[in-house]
């Protein structure tokens, strides 16, 4: 296939944003820009689904490869996908139109700029998952900071400036070390092409420091304990659509980065640092779950639960078993859908009451029955009820973990119980109970667009829960290849 | 005599300066016409240089050299001078500094830079340097009735004279050791075994570092940037920096080639100190011109990091860096000339507060420029830093690379602060609506380059690759 479909998917949103920037005059501003952005994002979604459809699931080779000489011939602009990245592209293309629909009602000022920022961000995020060259990856990975910084800072809550700065500087600080590592990889191997680096194999003595440099970036982005503190702030202050993108996609870049780069390029170092990652993951799972229990702000609670769920992801990746890695990828996709939905649910209440505090609600089920029903689906998905997508991810990760280390697996299981604790308690305090607050009495139930968004997400949660093969089929071959590569490298290094 | 062809730009510039001077003296209110003539002179000089761009040759018994490297820098100087002149026309007229001497002195300093860049001899080098510096002192204090401008000029003069003195002392010492003032002969005759040679080199380095305002010889920069009229500051921030970096490269490349072990640690220190100071000291600034002064100190630190590698890749990355730096600073000053409220130019960062609501185009340009200055991809500023650190890491100078990149994070903070003021804060007073074609064009071209640079970054690299650096 010669048609540059990956570049099209990547740059189409930017083109859409450009059109909004140029052509919408002040008077018809919001309408035109809404149409253009919806059109762009839906076309992109169809392209992504088409890409998934035409994707060859039986090979672990990179597909749809596009390359062009870029920096003076020594760094190529290379795009390509395999079973791991395709799903994240689809996820990104799927979440963006949802964000756009959700923000039409809730963003009151400067909607046009907001849509431009979202579309530009979409481009950068898809670029991250498409790129097969370290420098190109870094370019998109960092570039995403600019629109996200603006989204939090312009449309955020009262402490938005603090949150935006914290988000930007934390991530930048982690990433610059990755840049040093990328440049050193170029001078060690003579290329930054990921596929070539897989073949060449980075010498063992360099792997440890390089792994740490990449880790510093991904751990901040993931976020792993103890560098997770930017996330609750960013989530709480960001507008709903911003939180959704942050939770659903931006965090996944780090998980993807671990799989593609840390495990793929530095297998020996990855193996060496397993205990370290396990420790951090377990602390993340248990500690942040406990912290989530005590939150009074709904968004903060979900933010901490995200950290806990990401702890499962890192745990799964570093088990290096088929179940563990597939479970992490599944968990990332499922968390992408569920956390997006949860933030949208909080957004629904916030738009009506303008409070995110748990104790300003209670008895919502009496007036918002449809909403409570859908919220229940996502709540149960987040705590990993069988039949929802959350269950599949967690059980696979635990299956993987049990093969490697009983203690870790048992501790992680405690996290699931705590997860059930904070989610159910949240649901009980917000939805059930007596309707006592006067300002809640005249709330209206979900309108058409809110209902359709949440409904689609709920259907996906349940479909993935009952038919996980939809995702697992796509990733299976690539994951096997990743693990084989890892094991071969380990054997080679022990032979030495 | 045929070879005089290669000295033609300088001859042409000198003759034009005399002719325009006469025109300026004999015609009343001659600022407009002199400036127009000077545009023409600059453009013709570009054409003259472009004609012999790739020819490599030395003149006047090896005292003067002309090759593609010097020609590249000269063209860069001329182009950026045109833009700085063009964007500051409104400012010059409205602040009543439209003396015809303004553009004439500007041209004189360009001539000085030309001589300096092309010099292959200590004496010629010093002549060029002083011609440039003297013109700059006058420019700094051009706003005669303004106390701050006078202070800036005087401060610049006193400190710069001191630096020149040190430099001159270094030159004489070097002559004593090498027995010649010619760069190539010096290179052959000194080996660094005698401590006196190193002392001479250090004195010359101090002088050069002063001219590009690298730490610890940066003290004059914030005051001079703030005190001088903005039109002059825009020139200061761009053009002398190009010349300074050019002569830095020429010195490290030819006379001091053999002393690389001695100057490398010094340059690494200067570079690190400039990066860190540029990042930290800018945080507290309220005046945008002072902030740019500190940010330019930081940027010079990155440019010097490339030179401090002592290899050709490093020099190339520095040239690359300085070219991008010029574009970013031109764009930044174009924005500063649009910062006008109630008919008065303002310089406070707080004046930018909330302007994104009323001046969306200006705000988006500032956004692009500031993120580019901070080195965030995919903007051009990132590639500049990327090339420099490519070269630095190739030479295994990891400490320099890591500290440098960490200081970009610190410096990102103050660039973000301006963006915060523009986009997150409440609107106080919108800027006047200034319609100025040259500012718009400059802003448009430079922002377009900054944004679209990532599509084909090799373009600039291909030009730099063929320059004769050896």
**pLDDT tens, A405-445?**
889 899 988 888 998 999 999 888 888 888 777 777 777 88
Report pLDDT for B291.
Answer: 92
Task: Give A140's contacts in chain B (Cβ within 8 Å).
Answer: 377-378
Mean of the per-residue pLDDT values of chain A: 88
B382 near A CB under 8 A: yes
A425 near B CB under 8 A: no
**pLDDT tens, B5-55?**
778 888 899 999 999 999 888 888 888 888 888 899 999 999 888 887 777
State yes or no: pLDDT of A447 exceeds 90: no
Report the 10 Å Cβ neighbour count for A471: 21
Report pLDDT for B65.
Answer: 87
A214 near B CB under 8 A: no
Rg of chain B taking only CA atoms, in angstroms = 21
Distance, in Å, from the CA atom of B411 to the CA atom of B408, rounded to the nearest integer, reads 5
Report the 10 Å Cβ neighbour count for A491: 9
Give how far B312 is from chain A: nearest CA, Å: 16
Give how far A472 is from chain B: nearest CA, Å: 34
User: Given an 8 Å threshold on Cβ–Cβ distance, is A179 in contact with B405?
Assistant: yes
Report pLDDT for B435.
Answer: 82
Task: Give B377's contacts in chain A (Cβ within 8 Å).
Answer: 138-140, 142-143
Q: Give how far Cα A202 sits from Cα of A182, A199, A262, Å.
A: 12, 9, 12
Residue to test with chain B: of A71, A156, A171, A184, most B Cβ within 10 A: A71
Mean of the per-residue pLDDT values of chain B: 89
Q: Give how far Cα A69 sits from Cα of A34, A77, A133, B115, B358, Å.
A: 36, 6, 12, 39, 41
Q: Token pair 């359709």 is at which residue? A: A452
Report pLDDT for B25.
Answer: 86
State yes or no: pLDDT of A1 exceeds 60: no
Nearest Cα neighbor of B228 from B142, B113, B115 is: B142
Distance, in Å, from the CA atom of A193 to the CA atom of A214, rounded to the nearest integer, reads 16
Q: What is the mean pLDDT of residues A327-350?
A: 91
State yes or no: pLDDT of B80 exceeds 90: yes
Distance, in Å, from the CA atom of B449 to the CA atom of B327, rounded to the nearest integer, reads 8
User: Given an 8 Å threshold on Cβ–Cβ distance, is A154 in contact with B416?
Assistant: no
β pairing state of A63-71 and B344-345 = unpaired
Distance, in Å, from the CA atom of A259 to the CA atom of A328, rounded to the nearest integer, reads 10
Report pLDDT for B276.
Answer: 93
Q: Token pair 């002059």 is at which residue? A: B232
Indicate the pTM of the whole model: 0.92
The token duo for B436 is 């100025």
**pLDDT tens, A211-235?**
999 999 999 988 888 888 999 999 9
Give the closest of B390, B462, B465 to A183, CB-based. B390
Distance, in Å, from the CA atom of A164 to the CA atom of A158, rounded to the nearest integer, reads 11
Report pLDDT for B319.
Answer: 93
List, as ranges, residues 73-102 from A with C-beta within 8 Å of B.
Answer: 73
Distance, in Å, from the CA atom of B69 to the CA atom of B252, rounded to the nearest integer, reads 14
Q: Is A320 left (phi over 0), alpha (psi -120 to 50) or beta?
A: left
Nearest Cα neighbor of A41 from A94, A112, A4, A106 is: A94
Report pLDDT for A182.
Answer: 92
**pLDDT tens, A19-44?**
888 876 555 557 788 888 899 999 99
A236 neighbors A151 (Cβ within 8 angstroms): no
Report pLDDT for B374.
Answer: 92
| pLDDT tier at B308, thresholds 50, 70, 90 | very high
Residue to test with chain A: of B383, B405, B414, most A Cβ within 10 A: B405
**pLDDT tens, A87-97?**
999 999 999 99
**pLDDT tens, B313-331?**
899 999 999 999 999 999 9
For chain B, the three-class secondary structure string (H helix, E strand, C coil) is CHHHHHHHHHHHHHHHHHHHHHHHHHCCCCHHHHHHHHHHHHHHHHHHHHHCCCCCEEECCCCEEECHHHHHHHHHHHHHHHHHHHHHHHHHHHCCCCCHHHHHHHHHHHHHHHHHHHECEHHHHHHHHHHHHHHHHHHHCCCCCCHHHHHHHHHHHHHHHHHHHHHHHHHHHHHHHHCCCEHHHHHHHCCCCCHHHHHHHHHHHHHHHHHCCCCCCCCHHHHHHHHCCHHHHHHHHHHHHHHHHHHHHHHHHCCCHHHHHHHHHHHHHHHHHHHHHHHHHCCCCCEHHHHHHHHHHHHHHHHHHHHHCCCHHHHHHHHHHHHHHHHHHHHHHHHHCCCEECCEECCEHHHHCCHHHCCHHHHHHHHHHHHHHHCCCCCHHHHHHHHHHHHHHHCCCHHHHHHHHHHHHHHHHHHHHHHHHHHCCCCCCCCCCCCCHHHHHHHHHHHHHHHHHHHCCHHHHHHHHCCCCC
User: For residue A75, what are the β-bridge partners?
Assistant: A71
> Computed from CA positions of residues B447, B448, B452, B456, in that sequence, does the dihedral angle turn out positive or negative?
negative
User: For residue B121, what are the β-bridge partners?
Assistant: B182
Distance, in Å, from the CA atom of A172 to the CA atom of A178, rounded to the nearest integer, reads 10
3-state helix, strand, coil split of chain A in percent (to 5) is 80, 5, 20
The token duo for A227 is 């560098």
Percent of chain B with pLDDT over 70: 99
Report pLDDT for B1.
Answer: 56
* Lowest-confidence pick of B106-110, B366-370, B376-380, B434-438: B434-438
**pLDDT tens, A9-22?**
889 999 988 888 88
Q: What is the mean pLDDT of residues B213-238?
A: 90
The token duo for B272 is 């690190």
What is the helix (H) or strand (E) element at residue A71, kind and residue range? strand A63-71
A212 neighbors A184 (Cβ within 8 angstroms): no
Residue to test with chain A: of B320, B424, B450, most A Cβ within 10 A: B424
User: Given an 8 Å threshold on Cβ–Cβ distance, is B405 in contact with A177?
Assistant: yes
Fill in the DSSP letter of residue A56: -
Percent of chain B with pLDDT over 90: 45
User: At residue A294, what are phi and psi to the nearest 5 degrees?
Assistant: -95, 5
| pLDDT tier at B428, thresholds 50, 70, 90 | confident
User: Given an 8 Å threshold on Cβ–Cβ distance, is B406 in contact with A142?
Assistant: no
DSSP 3-state of A26: coil
- Residue B274 CB partners (closer than 8 Å, separation 6+): B214, B215, B218, B297, B298, B300, B301, B304
Report pLDDT for A26.
Answer: 58
Distance, in Å, from the CA atom of A334 to the CA atom of A322, rounded to the nearest integer, reads 18
CA angle (A49, A51, A52) in 5-degree steps = 65
């Amino acid at each position: 296939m010669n048609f540059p479909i990956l570049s099209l998917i990547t740059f189409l949103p930017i083109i859409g944003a450009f059109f909004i920037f140029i052509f919408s005059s002040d008077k018809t501003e919001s309408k035109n820009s809404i149409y253009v952005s919806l059109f762009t994002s839906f076309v992109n979604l169809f392209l992504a689904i088409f890409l998934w459809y035409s994707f060859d699931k039986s090979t672990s080779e990179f597909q749809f490869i596009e390359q062009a000489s870029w920096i003076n011939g020594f760094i190529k602009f290379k795009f390509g996908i395999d079973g791991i990245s395709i799903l994240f592209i689809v996820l990104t293309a799927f979440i963006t139109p949802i964000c756009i629909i959700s923000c039409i009602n809730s963003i009151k000022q400067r909607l046009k700029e907001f849509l431009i920022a979202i579309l530009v961000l979409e481009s950068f995020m898809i670029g991250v998952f498409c790129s097969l060259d370290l420098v190109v990856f870094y370019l998109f990975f960092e570039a995403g900071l600019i629109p996200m910084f603006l989204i939090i800072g312009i449309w955020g809550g009262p402490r938005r400036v603090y949150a935006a700065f914290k988000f930007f500087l934390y991530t930048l600080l982690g990433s610059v070390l990755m840049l040093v590592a990328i440049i050193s990889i170029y001078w060690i191997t003579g290329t930054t092409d990921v596929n070539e680096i897989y073949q060449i194999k980075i010498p063992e003595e360099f792997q440890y420091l390089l792994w740490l440099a990449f880790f510093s970036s991904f751990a901040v982005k993931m976020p792993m304990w103890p560098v997770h503190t930017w996330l609750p702030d960013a989530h709480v202050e960001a507008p709903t659509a911003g939180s959704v993108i942050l939770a659903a996609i931006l965090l996944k870049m780090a998980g993807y980065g671990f799989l593609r780069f840390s495990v793929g390029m530095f297998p020996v170092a990855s193996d060496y640092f397993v205990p370290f990652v396990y420790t951090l993951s377990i602390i993340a799972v248990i500690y942040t779950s406990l912290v989530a229990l005590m939150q009074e702000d709904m968004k903060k609670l979900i933010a901490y639960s995200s950290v806990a769920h990401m702890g499962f992801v890192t745990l799964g990746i570093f088990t290096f078993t088929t179940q563990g890695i597939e479970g992490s990828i599944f968990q990332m996709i499922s968390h992408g859908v569920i956390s997006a939905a949860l933030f949208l649910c909080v957004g629904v209440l916030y738009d009506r009451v303008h409070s995110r505090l748990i104790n300003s609600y209670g008895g919502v089920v009496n007036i918002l029955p449809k909403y409570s029903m859908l919220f229940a689906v996502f709540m149960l998905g987040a705590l990993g009820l069988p039949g929802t997508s959350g269950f599949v991810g967690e059980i696979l990760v635990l299956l993987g973990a049990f093969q490697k280390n009983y203690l870790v697996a048992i501790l992680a299981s405690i996290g699931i119980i705590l997860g059930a604790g904070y989610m159910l308690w949240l649901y009980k305090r917000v939805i059930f109970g007596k309707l006592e607050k006067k300002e809640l009495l005249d709330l209206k139930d979900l309108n058409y667009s809110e209902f359709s968004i949440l409904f689609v997400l709920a259907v996906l949660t349940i479909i993935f829960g009952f038919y996980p093969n939809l995702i697992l089929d796509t990733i299976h071959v690539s994951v096997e290849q990743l693990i084989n590569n890892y094991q071969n490298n380990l054997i080679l290094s022990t032979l030495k | 005599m045929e070879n005089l062809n290669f000295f033609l730009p300088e001859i042409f510039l000198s003759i034009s300066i005399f002719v325009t001077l006469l025109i300026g003296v004999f015609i009343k209110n001659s600022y407009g016409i002199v400036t127009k003539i000077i545009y023409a002179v600059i453009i013709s000089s570009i054409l003259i240089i472009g004609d012999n761009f790739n020819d490599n040759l030395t003149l006047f018994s090896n005292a003067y050299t002309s090759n593609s490297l010097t020609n590249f820098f000269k063209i860069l100087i001329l182009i950026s001078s045109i833009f700085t002149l063009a964007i500051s026309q409104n400012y010059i007229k409205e602040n009543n500094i439209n003396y015809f001497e303004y553009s004439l002195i500007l041209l004189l300093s360009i001539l000085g830079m030309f001589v300096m860049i092309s010099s292959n001899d200590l004496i010629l080098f010093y002549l060029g340097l002083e011609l440039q510096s003297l013109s700059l002192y006058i420019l700094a204090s051009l706003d005669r009735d303004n106390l701050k401008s006078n202070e800036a000029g005087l401060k610049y003069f006193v400190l710069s004279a001191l630096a020149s003195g040190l430099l001159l002392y270094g030159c004489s010492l070097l002559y004593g050791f090498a027995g010649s003032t010619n760069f190539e002969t010096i290179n052959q005759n000194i080996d660094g075994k005698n401590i006196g040679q190193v002392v001479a080199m250090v004195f010359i380095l101090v002088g050069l570092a002063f001219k590009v305002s690298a730490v610890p010889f940066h003290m004059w920069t914030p005051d001079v940037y703030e005190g001088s009229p903005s039109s002059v500051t825009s020139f200061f921030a761009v053009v002398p920096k190009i010349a300074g970096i050019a002569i830095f490269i020429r010195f490290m490349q030819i006379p001091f080639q053999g002393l690389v072990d001695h100057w490398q640690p010094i340059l690494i220190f200067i570079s690190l100190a400039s990066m860190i100071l540029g990042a930290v000291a800018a945080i507290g600034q309220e005046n945008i011109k002072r902030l740019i002064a500190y940010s330019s100190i930081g940027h010079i630190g990155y440019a010097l990091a490339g030179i401090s590698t002592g290899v050709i890749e490093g020099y190339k990355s520095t040239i690359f860096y300085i070219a991008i730096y010029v574009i970013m600073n031109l764009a930044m000053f174009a924005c500063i000339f649009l910062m006008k409220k109630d008919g008065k130019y303002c310089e406070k960062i707080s004046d930018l507060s909330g302007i994104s609501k009323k001046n969306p185009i200006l705000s988006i340009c500032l956004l692009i420029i500031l993120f580019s200055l901070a080195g965030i991809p995919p903007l051009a500023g990132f590639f500049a830093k990327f090339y420099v650190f490519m070269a630095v890491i190739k030479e295994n100078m990891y400490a320099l690379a890591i500290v440098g990149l960490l200081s970009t994070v610190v410096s990102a903070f103050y660039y973000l602060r301006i963006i915060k003021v523009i986009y997150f804060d409440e609107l106080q007073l919108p800027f006047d609506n200034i319609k100025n074609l040259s500012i718009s064009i400059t802003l448009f071209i430079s922002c377009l380059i900054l944004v679209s640079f990532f599509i084909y970054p090799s373009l600039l690299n291909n030009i730099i690759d063929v320059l004769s650096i050896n």
